[in-house]
Amino acid sequence: MAERRRHRPDLLHRRVSGPAAAGLSGGDVASRVSQGLANRVPDTTSRSLWQIVRANVLTLFNAIVGTSFVLLLLLGSWQDALFGLAAAGNAVIGVVQEYRAKRSLDRLAVLEAPLARVLRDGTVQEIPTAEVVLDDVLVLRAGDQVTADASVLESGGLEADESLLTGESDPVDKEAGTEVLSGSIIVAGRSTARVIRVGADSFSSRLAADAKRFSLVNSEIRNSLDRILRWLTWALLPVALIVANGEMQSRGGWEQAIDSGAWTSALVGVIASVIAMVPLGLVLLSSVAFAVGGVRLAANKVLIQELAAVEGLARVDVLCLDKTGTLTEGRIIFDGVHELAGPAEPGWEHALGWFAADPEANATSRCLEAAFEHDGGSPAVSSVPFSSARKWSSVTFDGGRKPSGSWILGAPEIVLTRIPGGADPGPTACAALDKAGRLAESGLRTVVLAYADDTTITADDATLPPVVKPVVVLTFREQIRPDARQTLDYFRDEGVELKIISGDDPRTVAAIARTVGLDVRDGYDARKLPAEPRLLEEVMGDNTVFGRVSPGQKKDMVAALQRRGHTVAMTGDGVNDVLALKEADLGIAMNSAAPATKAVARLVLLDGRFDRLPGVVAEGRRVIANIERVSKLFLSKTAYSIALAVSFGLLNLQFPFLPRQLSFTDGLTIGIPSFFLALMANTRRYRPGFLRRSLSFSVPAGLIVAASLLGLNLYSRSSGAAGGAPEPLQSASVLTLSVIGLWILAVVSRPLDKKKLAVLLAMCTSLLILLNLPLAQDFFHLAMPPADLLWAAGAAALGGGLAVELLAWIHGRKFPR
């Protein structure tokens, strides 16, 4: 249609007649532009880059970590500042992923038409969309996208496709006085319409502005980590003060430590205790796991708009599906011919072939082209094109000397219903109506081909004759996606509740739902949805299929499900789905979706294959289950770090580690193995309560580690096993922590397979090598402790390991896999 318009120069700069024949004058346009009444959309963005950087970098948590990093550099202990790399990595990943989401939202646009055709000074002109002003007269033709909300002045069979905006699949007739919304497509007829809303006030702009509202996907992992970091942020300063006092007191008191310069080593100890509390690696590893999941899904034609969306679908317990473009391919196909009792009127196949080949045929008639070829027989002497207002079309062929009759193709309830002054439909027509009704109840679209003898219907007098004879009933069906049933079966087996939400007739939607295996009888007409939130929640809980749903209702329905405690995913492909996709915990768009829809979706199925979703679920499960596994390692470290800092501070003991030594133990027992564990296969089904399960293991495990190290240090202090020097005791503490940490790693990795066992053995081997490698000993300030201290370290490690085994048994009983 766009091509046809481009090659019609006669449509431009020609005089028109009728209402508002002159349109606006140049002075009128200039006046409205000066008043800001042009169709310019405000260039607002979802979130500025500075806001994103500030949210991810300028936080109290990062201030504490950054200050610690700078202090170590100033003290010349750059070896102890390795944690700064992880902190910087977290901030960079956070900024990058939010900036990617921002760019997607900023590109969101409902209007795609670069030009608008308007009537000014009595001539038709094409101008940029942004230069349309209030009260301009739009000249609309088939193929145009309406560029501003307008009121129809005169209509010549104008029909608008509003499916992108409202979800209604059928074109809507637009008579004089009705509104056409910006973003809708003119599919038939012509019209002039006066602009009544422009710019930010237009429907498409309001829709886009709401969709651009910034939000992050609801991620249980990210929410849990943020909660832990908030807790730690408030705990860091009090704990640091306790440790600082303990460090200074262990060096002879504040005055002596300051005079002797020992305060520098005390400050390093304070920083070590503070940084040990922070699970920097867990935040970084979570982002890496999400990113790797995104890369894996991209290889399977699934685009991840936001990293945490990998997790989202694994947590979903309600999946809302739009029928058109999701369950169906968005087009109709010819189903079959249903003959009626008695002999059929000769020539009906020729008539159907003509309807299929007619250049003005609608989508339904064009479906007949493959089944009924136009043989070019008798030429047509008159025809009436299809109109959604009439719901029928007709053709009359040249019958030679004898006047030929007219063939009518249209909706059975219109073509065969008794008209005023006409004869009763008769038994044949009643039988055809009954047959068409039964077929429609099965979800098929029905059309009747009828014949009126000795009658010529013309476009000038497009009325049905008083007597028509039904010849055959034709049925059409929407093309069901071949992967729809199998995919829905998968989600039902996984306990995911399904909701079919569509703008089409609820009976049709229910029939489609039955075709793909859903056990539903009728659909709920959304025009009857209650406005009261509590009643809406009840309706959403009691019904599966919803028809005649408006865009605003889709959003309210998703919100109602969320208020009932559900995690909701929503699929869609039209602009009418934008607000619902934005509201849902996880929005999923097909690649055929409108650009605005893909902009707000978290997942885009690039090849439009619905059966990709189970793979997304599997990837999400792997991410969740593995991050939960490694979180136990990182949070155990946080727990024992806090316990050590408080207990050693209150007992005026020196903190038993240098920051670099903690980097050593972290790398062997947590960092390196966690990287491999986070990327391994894991099909465990999602269960809510990630943080509760992790903390119920990590906190006791951390207390076990802290108790073992505290016992070792108290023994050394009372027996003088370290000989008064901190280095041997630090080395013994490193050995004890490493052994218990590897024990925790073994427990968390269960059930062990070849890959996990290989990782565990590699870490044990690395520990033995590094403890005996001179270069590593020098860098990490490690040395073989005296025999009695070595035996004490072994006993503390064995006792801690056995306690971890008991904890794992108790935890396994409380939270079975």
pLDDT confidence of 400, banded at 50, 70, 90? low
Rounded CA separation 484/605 (Å):
14
pLDDT of amino acid 450: 92
471, two tokens: 């010849």
Rounded CA separation 627/709 (Å):
27
Rounded CA separation 324/480 (Å):
9
pLDDT of amino acid 478: 78
- pLDDT tens profile 473-518: 999 887 788 888 888 998 888 888 999 988 766 877 888 888 888 8
Contacts of residue 404, Cβ cutoff 8 Å, sequence gap at least 6: 378, 381, 396, 397, 398, 456
Relative orientation angle of helices 672-679 and 613-650, to the nearest 10 degrees: 160
Rounded CA separation 57/54 (Å):
5
Q: Mean of the pLDDT values across residues 102-129?
A: 70
Pair 466, 406: CB distance under 8 Å: no
Q: Mean of the pLDDT values across residues 208-224?
A: 64
pLDDT confidence of 211, banded at 50, 70, 90? low
pLDDT confidence of 109, banded at 50, 70, 90? very low
Q: Is the peptide bond before 751 cis (omega within 30 degrees of 0)?
A: yes
pLDDT of amino acid 810: 93
Q: In CATH, which of 3.40.50.720, 2.70.150.10, 3.40.1080.10, 2.60.260.20 is domain 2-35+110-210?
A: 2.70.150.10
SS3 state at 775: helix
Residue 375 has pLDDT above 90, yes or no: no
CATH topology of domain 278-294+617-814: Calcium-transporting ATPase, transmembrane domain (1.20.1110)
pLDDT more than 90, % of the chain: 14
Pair 389, 158: CB distance under 8 Å: no
CB atoms within 10 A of CB 551: 22
- pLDDT tens profile 525-579: 888 899 899 999 999 999 999 987 876 788 899 999 999 999 899 987 766 677 7
Nearest to 445 by CA among 410, 487, 404, 419: 410
Rounded CA separation 186/142 (Å):
5
Torsion-angle region of 668 (φ positive above 0: left; ψ -120 to 50: alpha; else: beta): alpha
Residue 372 has pLDDT above 60, yes or no: yes
Rounded CA separation 636/462 (Å):
81
Rounded CA separation 29/326 (Å):
44
Pair 151, 196: CB distance under 8 Å: yes
To which CATH superfamily is domain 303-327+482-608 assigned?
A: HAD superfamily/HAD-like (3.40.50.1000)
Burial class (CB in 10 A: 0-12, 13-18, 19+), 778: exposed
Q: Mean of the pLDDT values across residues 240-252?
A: 79
pLDDT of amino acid 15: 39
Rounded CA separation 231/226 (Å):
9
β-bridge pairing 380-387 and 392-397:
antiparallel
pLDDT of amino acid 576: 64
Rounded CA separation 259/78 (Å):
24
- pLDDT tens profile 725-744: 677 888 899 999 999 999 99
Q: Domain residue spans in the chain?
A: 2-35+110-210, 278-294+617-814, 303-327+482-608, 331-479
Q: Indicate the average pLDDT of the chain.
A: 79
Q: Report the amino acid identity of residue 401.
A: R
pLDDT of amino acid 16: 43
Per residue, the 3-state secondary structure of 745-760, as one string, reads HHHHHCCCCHHHHHHH
pLDDT of amino acid 210: 57
Rounded CA separation 692/223 (Å):
13
Question: Which DSSP state fits 575?
Answer: G
Burial class (CB in 10 A: 0-12, 13-18, 19+), 19: exposed
pLDDT of amino acid 800: 93
Class of 331-479 in CATH: alpha beta
β-bridge pairing 497-501 and 545-547:
parallel
Per residue, the 3-state secondary structure of 471-499, as one string, reads EEEEEEEEEECCCHHHHHHHHHHCCCEEE
Residue 236 has pLDDT above 50, yes or no: yes
**In 559-659, where do the E strands start and end?**
568-572, 586-590, 603-605
pLDDT of amino acid 7: 34
Nearest to 288 by CA among 612, 674, 755, 603: 674
Rg (CA), the chain: 36
pLDDT more than 70, % of the chain: 83
Residue 12 has pLDDT above 70, yes or no: no
Alpha helix segments (H runs only) across 48-172: 49-57, 60-74, 83-106, 163-166
| End-to-end CA, the chain | 59
pLDDT of amino acid 561: 95
pLDDT of amino acid 53: 78
Q: Mean of the pLDDT values across residues 251-272?
A: 78
Residue 41 has pLDDT above 60, yes or no: yes
How far is CA 164 from its chain centroid? 18
- pLDDT tens profile 712-725: 988 888 776 655 56
Q: Report the amino acid identity of residue 108.
A: L
- pLDDT tens profile 404-459: 789 999 888 888 875 544 445 677 888 888 888 788 777 777 889 999 888 888 87
Residue 78 has pLDDT above 90, yes or no: no
Burial class (CB in 10 A: 0-12, 13-18, 19+), 119: buried
- pLDDT tens profile 632-661: 988 898 888 888 888 888 888 877 877 778
Residue 21 has pLDDT above 70, yes or no: no
Q: Mean of the pLDDT values across residues 283-306?
A: 76
pLDDT of amino acid 808: 92
Pair 180, 152: CB distance under 8 Å: yes
C-alpha dist (Å) from residue 512 to 519, 522, 551: 11, 11, 21
Residue 288 has pLDDT above 60, yes or no: yes
CB contact burial 743-759 (16+ within 10 A = b; e otherwise):
bbbbbbbeeeeeebeeb
pLDDT of amino acid 795: 94
What are φ and ψ of residue 131, in 5° steps?
Answer: -95, 0
pLDDT confidence of 19, banded at 50, 70, 90? very low
Active-site residue list? 322
